[in-house]
Structure 1
Amino acid sequence: MTVAEESHFGRAATRLGIAQPPLSQRIQRLERELGVRLFERTSRHVTITKAGTLLLDEARELIARSEALKATALRIRKGESGLLRAALPPDIAGETVAAILADFQRLHPGVTLELHELSTAQQLDQLASHDLDVGLVHHPCDVSGLELGPVLRRELGVLLRRDAPAATLAEVPLAALTGYDLILFHRSGAPALHDDVLTTCARNGYTPATVRHGQGASFIRGLILSTNAVAFSPRDAHPAHTADQDPDITWRPLAGLALTWRHSVAWPQGRSDAAVSAFAEAATRALRGTAAASAEPPPLHLRPAAEFWL
């Protein structure tokens, strides 16, 4: 294309920043590859042939597409375009999910966010296999091989029937739940957190007679109403703390901040880019703004308090 525009090998070579002989050789190789003569050469002039003229527009289009491809690759490398595979745990409220999506798209409109609902264990497996780029995990968990964003804390309360004696308390001590079964997520979803919850309960005077497994809000509500059971939940994750939204179930804070959910965004070491950083920022802002999450004060202990044996 440059030779055609300059009609001179010397000027074209200067413009391209290469020597004239290699340029002439490259034109000859291109002619052999295409099977047509592109230029007529004399000692003084270089004239484009009819075949060369017909191919020139397509050559310009190929050059433009090549530059566009390089620019797109650069944006993907910088995290400004492409696909980001991310995950959130099931207990994240819809308002928080919506805030994360809106904030991320504002920061990186060129990136497609593929968002999944996965337990901490599932996220760790997929981060290790590189089927997931970034996720929001519960602590404690095995964070080897991962980089972490800020660790945030969400205070837990207890969901119970409105006619339960503990429902009259402004704050419920864990010991006041003695005699109730506990509805808890399945251990396979977050083994260390599951054990940590039961350890903390036992240390504070509450050992549930039975641990029932459930996670969906409607399913948990049904178990609370039909069995002698309670469940732990952050305030933002369940509407039962609002009196006019559920006449049968109420949410009460736990005394002394006995239990908290701790989260942080996690991604494989060395794989951070602008899109991962933007997701971490969006998730952190959303948890603080919609879920009343606060920063975990130092020292930070990401390991479980103890193994709890039933």
Structure 2
Amino acid sequence: MAVAEESHFGRAAARLGMAQPPLSQRIRRLERELGVRLFERTSRQVTITEAGRLLLAEARELLGRSESFLAAARRVRDGETGLLRAALPPDISGETVAALLADFRHRHAGMELELHELSTAQQLVRLAAHELDVGIVHHPCDVSGLDLGPVLRRELGVLLPPGAAAAGLREVPLGALAPYDLVLFPRADAPALHDDLLTTCARGGWTPAAVRHGRGASFVRGLVLSGGAVALCPRDTQPEGAGGDNGDPDVVWRPFTGAPPAWRQSAAWPKGRGDAAVQAFAEAATHALRATAGAVPDAPTRPLHLRPASEFWL
């Protein structure tokens, strides 16, 4: 293209930032490869041949596609386009999910987001296998090989049947729940967190006689309505109107007294793989949890790792 537009090897070489002899050699190699003569050369001028004129438009299109391809590759490299595989735990509220998605689309409109609902244990397996780019995990968990975003704390309250004596309190001490079983997510979803919550309950004076496992909001609500169990959940995930004042009159949510049990969550991704898209998702998730779930920054008093042994065997 440069030789055809300049009709001069010297000017074309200067335009390309190279010496003239290598340019002449490249043109000859191209002619041999294509099997056609592109230029007529004399000591005074260079003239494009009919074959060269016919191929010049194709050459311009080829180079244009090449530049577009390289630009697209740079955008993918910089996390500006492509596919991001992300995961959220089942306990994230609908409002938080919506806020996260809106914020992420604002930050990275060209990125396709493949979002999964996975427990912490499932996310850790997929992150280690590089089948997931980023997720939101519960702590404590095994974070070896992972980079983390800010750790956020979501304090838990208790979901009670309306006839419970503790439902009449503004704040509930853990010891007041002694008559009730505990509804909790399956231990396999987040083993260290499961044990950590039971430890916190025991230190607060409540060791449930039994732990019933449940994930879905309707199933958990049904176990609470049975009258024999209560559930731990943050305020933002309680059923609409829980508290008996309006909305759902059948369940009551109350905060705990003192230092309540809490969930600690953060974004996590494979170490060294936090490109711009991963960072944008982590920032969107952090912002959404703070804005819609009342999460606050947490400074853990101990390392965020999986304990080798559990204090509870169920």
- For Structure 1 versus Structure 2, the TM-score category normalised by the shorter chain is over 0.9
**Native 8 Å contact 1:196 1:304 kept in 2:** no
Q: What is the TM-score normalised by the length of structure 1?
A: 0.95
Q: Distance in 2 between matches of 1:227 and 1:170?
A: 20
Q: What are the Cα deviations for residues 247-285 of structure 1, in whole angstroms up to 9, with x where unaligned?
A: 111111112132000011111111112111111111111
Alignment match of 1:277 (pick from 276, 279, 293): 279
2:142/2:306 contact within 8 Å kept: no
The 5 Å alignment of 1:258-269 reads 258-269=260-271
Indicate yes or no: 2:107 matched with 1:107: yes
Deviation digits for residues 61-82 of structure 1 (CA, Å, limit 9, x no counterpart): 1111111111111122222222
Q: Please say which of residues 198-207 and 235-244 is displaced more in the overlay.
A: 235-244
Give CA-to-partner distance per residue, 1:26-50, whole Å, 9 cap, x none: 1122122222221122222211111
Contact 1:119 1:189 in 2 (8 A): yes
Identity %: 71
**Aligned partners of 1:126, 1:298: CA distance in 2, in Å?**
25
Tell me the number of residue pairs that the alignment of Structure 1 and Structure 2 aligns: 310
- The answer on whether the counterparts of 2:121 and 2:188 sit within 8 Å (CA) in structure 1 is yes
Which one of the candidate residues 292, 298, 303 is aligned to 1:296? 298
Which residues of 2 match residues 208-219 of structure 1 at below 5 A?
208-219=208-219
The match for 1:308 among 302, 308, 312 is: 312
Instruction: Answer with 153-162 or 76-85: which moved more.
Output: 76-85
Indicate if the aligned counterparts of 2:182 and 2:230 stay in contact, CA closer than 8 A: yes
Amino acid corresponding to residue 255 of structure 1 in structure 2: T
Asked if structure 1 preserves the Cα contact closer than 8 Å seen for 2:89 and 2:137, the reply is yes
Contact 2:157 2:260 in 1 (8 A): no
Specify the alignment match of 1:155 in structure 2: 155
Q: Distance in 2 between matches of 1:304 and 1:206?
A: 24
Mapped partners of 2:144, 2:300: distance in 1: 20
Q: Distance in 2 between matches of 1:301 and 1:37?
A: 71
The letter for the 2-side match of 1:209 is A
Task: Tell me how far apart the structure 2 counterparts of residues 309 and 214 of structure 1 sit (CA, whole Å).
Answer: 18
1:196, 1:308 within 8 Å by CA — same for their partners in 2? Answer: no
Deviation for aligned residue 1:179 = 2.1
Show structure 2 runs of 5+ residues with no match. none
Q: Distance in 1 between matches of 2:259 and 2:217?
A: 22
SS in 2 for 1:10: helix
* CA distance in structure 2 between the partners assigned to 1:33 and 1:244 by the alignment: 80
Q: Give the 3-state SS of the residue equivalent to 1:116 in structure 2.
A: strand
* 4+ residue segments displaced more than 6 Å: none
Q: Which residue of 1 aligns with 2:233?
A: 233
| Displacement of 1:303 | 4.3
CA contact (8 A) 1:195 1:304 kept: no
Query: Residue type matched to 1:182 in 2?
Result: L
CA distance in 2, matches of 1:18, 1:307: 72
The offset of 1:300, in angstroms, is 4.8
2:39 is the alignment partner of 1:39: yes
Q: Kindly state the Cα deviation for residue 164 of structure 1 after the two structures are TM-superposed.
A: 1.2
